[in-house]
Amino acid sequence: MANRNISAGTVLPANRKRQILSNKELTGYIFIFPTVAILALLVVYPLLYGFYISFFKTNLIQRWDFVGLKYYIEAFTSSDFMQQLGTTVRFTFWVVLGHFSIGMILAVLLNRQFKGRTLFRIILLLPWLFPESVIALLFKWIFNPLYGIFTHFMEFIGVIDGPTSWLGTSGTAFPLVAAVCIWKGYPMIMLMILAGLQAIPADLYDAAKIDGASRSATFFKIVIPSLRPVLMVTLVLDTIWWFKHYTLVWVLTGGGPGNDTSIVSIAIYKEAFDNFEFGRAAAMSVIVFFICYILGYLYRRILDRE
């Protein structure tokens, strides 16, 4: 009997431990369920539904004509869509390049010790905090051909003789839109790089100084290699974000003049809500989704190698 009691005493705590562990797991699932459900409703379902309607010529109400891969074939054989993809790639390249150029310079400067550094950090972060629609309307007023500050400044320095439609002229619209997007997005890059700089141990700088390394050698031999993971993550996130960007370009130019600023997100919007070709717009969206997915996949492969 004593042996039985002892064996029972040794088995019960193990059962209780398993029960407690299962309760903890259940509690964890209960806590994450609302987030998973919201993501499924707001992200997964729209993605799957968009993929579904890309096979139909539909108005989303009573017309559902199955067309199969027709819209995908038309997209890849359409010169307009290829031109819009090219404009999007060019737009993304210049915007991301501007972000990293300005963000790197400002991050290096803000990483130094000087009076008022915190104030400058707050000021330089402001463009990132303003809503995109507000920034677009602000710069649309600045570039106004009649009463815009930019127009008056150009007249003052003698570049132009009268009112100029900056956002309505081919040759100036694209660079100005890209400049506005660079101004809007550089704070995120600056913040990420600044965080990476502050994570570099001071011992590395001291060792480089003892070895007689110059500032440029320290930057390229210590700073850049230490920042490589941060730069890689930031590069991919920034590229994907601006590749599918919509708000700033739409409010500033609406894709004009002509097709000079017609990036692929604006083309998708016009196809869906101007032409009411929801199936064709969904197919174009799926193509953009897979392009962004490929960029993320390449990022993971490169990071795994690192």
Note the pLDDT tens digit of each residue in 52-106.
999 999 888 888 999 999 999 999 998 999 999 999 999 999 999 999 999 999 9
Helix (H) or strand (E) holding 57, with range, is strand 56-58
pLDDT surpassing 90 at residue 170:
no
What pLDDT sits at residue 303?
A: 66
Neighbours of 182 (CB within 10 A): 22
Residue with tokens 């699932």: 29
168 in Cβ contact with 144 (< 8 Å): no
The percentage of residues in the chain with a pLDDT greater than 70, rounded to a whole number, is 92
**pLDDT tens per residue across span 257-273:** 888 999 999 999 999 99
CA separation, residue 268 to residues 52, 81, 171, 283 (Å): 16, 10, 24, 9
pLDDT of 12 reads 46
Predicted local confidence at residue 27, as pLDDT: 81
Evaluate if residue 253 carries a pLDDT over 90.
yes
Say if residue 201's pLDDT is above 80.
yes
- Within the chain, what is the greatest distance between any pair of CA atoms? 108
- Please tell me which residue, 109 or 301, carries the higher pLDDT value: 109
Token pair of 18, please?
Answer: 């398993």
Q: How high is the mean pLDDT of the chain?
A: 86
C-alpha span between 138 and 132 (Å, rounded): 10
Average pLDDT value for residue range 188-203: 90
Residue 4: pLDDT over 70: no
For the segment 32-61, the average pLDDT, to the nearest whole number, is 89
62 vs 242, more confident: 242
Distance, in Å, from the CA atom of 186 to the CA atom of 118, rounded to the nearest integer, reads 17
pLDDT at 256: 86
What number of other Cβ atoms are within 10 A of residue 61's Cβ? 6
- pLDDT, one tens digit per residue, over 109-163 is 998 888 888 898 889 999 998 999 999 999 999 999 988 999 999 998 988 888 8
CA dist., res. 303 & res. 306, Å (int): 5
Q: What is the mean pLDDT of residues 11-32?
A: 66
Helices (H) and strands (E) in the chain, counts: 14, 2
- Residues 261 and 179: their CA atoms lie apart, in Å, by 13
Nearest to 225 by CA among 238, 240, 210, 208: 208
Report residue 2's pLDDT band, with 50, 70 and 90 as the boundaries: very low
